[in-house]
Amino acid sequence: MTTELIPAAPARSTDAGVWADADRHVLRYTESFAPVLVERAAGSVLHLTDGRDVLDFTSGQMSAILGHSHPEIAATVRDATENLAHLFSGMLSRPVVELSRRLADSLPDPLERVLVLTTGAESNEAALRLAKLVTGKHEIVAFSRSWHGMTLGAANATYSTPRGGYGPSVPGNFSLPTPYSYRPDVTDADGELDWRTQLDLGFARIDAESCGSLAACIVEPILSSGGVIVPPPGYLAALKAKCEERGMLLILDEAQTALCRTGDMYAFEAEGFVPDILTLSKTLGAGMPVAAVVTSSAIEARAHELGFLFFTTHVSDPLAAAVGNTVLEVLERDDIGAEVRVKGGQLAAGLHELKDRHPVVGEVRGRGMMQGIEFVLDPVTREPAAGLGAAVTSRSLELGLHVNVVQLGGDFGSSLRIAPALTTSPAELDRGLAILDQAIGEAAPAFI
């Protein structure tokens, strides 16, 4: 991979009036906004109001897997808004029934019952309510570096963001140590992560703290906001067994990993087990608000018998379901999974080249088109390079590439997330890697 120097761009868009209005009227829901204004987006490129183009290596919020402004999705939205976009929540439509069938057909048994929703937090909230009702219990377990959403139940199963200032947590939530191989907390004789012992110890602690009401464990197959952490092979199947021993359900949150992001249709397919409940969102809408909960007929029947209620304004919306159907059609027709396996290899190889060239890149990890790199001050001690990820992100944006650094404190801020659209071309991947190479080379000297 050759590196071509790319000129710097202005630090902030020149649309002074818009920025003044933003400063005055937009409620700040994050620490800071990116210093650019986006006029439009197409494919893997963001077109800014100052005339510059930026490669989007986050596919929006890790959602636009078919690229921005995909013509078939745009046509689906136009048709739905003109004909059938929204209904009374107790009514069904052909798009909802079709999406339910298509999702069931794409999944192994016994996953065949589908609830169509709009956001990831909402789907996780519904899954948690479903698990609590069916098991008759209320305690929830999640990874210590988890992110499952900002609604009440999902937020209380989220540990990768500070909780201070929001009042007491919901009783009955427990964290399980994250199987973080690069920074192991329980090691074997070779100094590697002993994940089986870690898992045993984690559940021994949870068993001691539980009041005997363990309902479910909710996890991501790859922890995105936790730093793109991939559990060791065999871990998730062993976790499923731990849940079964305790009469718990295993909820798998595949908001970011489902629908070919990792090269498989679903990330769990590579792990040799099937979850009790699967939640989908981001990738299912490919940039539009679409989500779903999928479970077995046995769980659905028991929930219905007990009066399961999740009656929201946009449950079973025809527009959301129509978009989901189009996304599945494009993925299957164009064999996107096969493309991802090839391009994911290209992306990983390019990132490993960066690791060989830049000592501050301590580890490359991920699968398919969901990759992460962790910055360190020293590759031997693995001391986190606090602040370097933000500096690389900022410089990359100036050079024409949008990537995302996890900025949640501790060593989180040293992990960079890279999740381009699955339709990103090989040439665009090479250009993005060249920009990232330059950004790291220019930012790193200030930190080492």
* Catalytic residue list: 147, 220, 253, 256, 282, 417
User: Does an H or E element contain 70, and which?
Assistant: none
SS (H, E, C) 172-197: CEEEECCCCCCCCCCECCCCCECHHH
Q: Tokens 């209620």, residue?
A: 309
Tell me, rounded to whole angstroms, the distance of Cα 134 from its chain centroid.
27
> How far, in Å, are 51, 186, 258, 394 from residue 275 at the CA level?
47, 26, 13, 39
What's the residue count for the chain? 448
CA distance 110 to 100: 14
User: Does an H or E element contain 132, and which?
Assistant: helix 120-135
Burial class (CB in 10 A: 0-12, 13-18, 19+), 279: buried
Amino acid present at 206: I
Q: Tokens 């020293």, residue?
A: 378
> How far, in Å, are 90, 338, 369, 386 from residue 436 at the CA level?
49, 26, 16, 18
Count of helix runs (H) and strand runs (E) in the chain: 14, 15
CB 252 within 8 A of CB 221: yes
Strand partners, 55: 45, 401
CA distance 123 to 315: 10
CA atoms lying within 13 Å on the CB side of residue 386:
5
CA distance 91 to 385: 53
Amino acid present at 417: R
User: Does an H or E element contain 296, and which?
Assistant: strand 291-296
Query: 75-107: string of b/e by CB count within 10 Å (b at 16+)?
Result: ebbeebeeebebbeeeeebebbeebbebbbebb
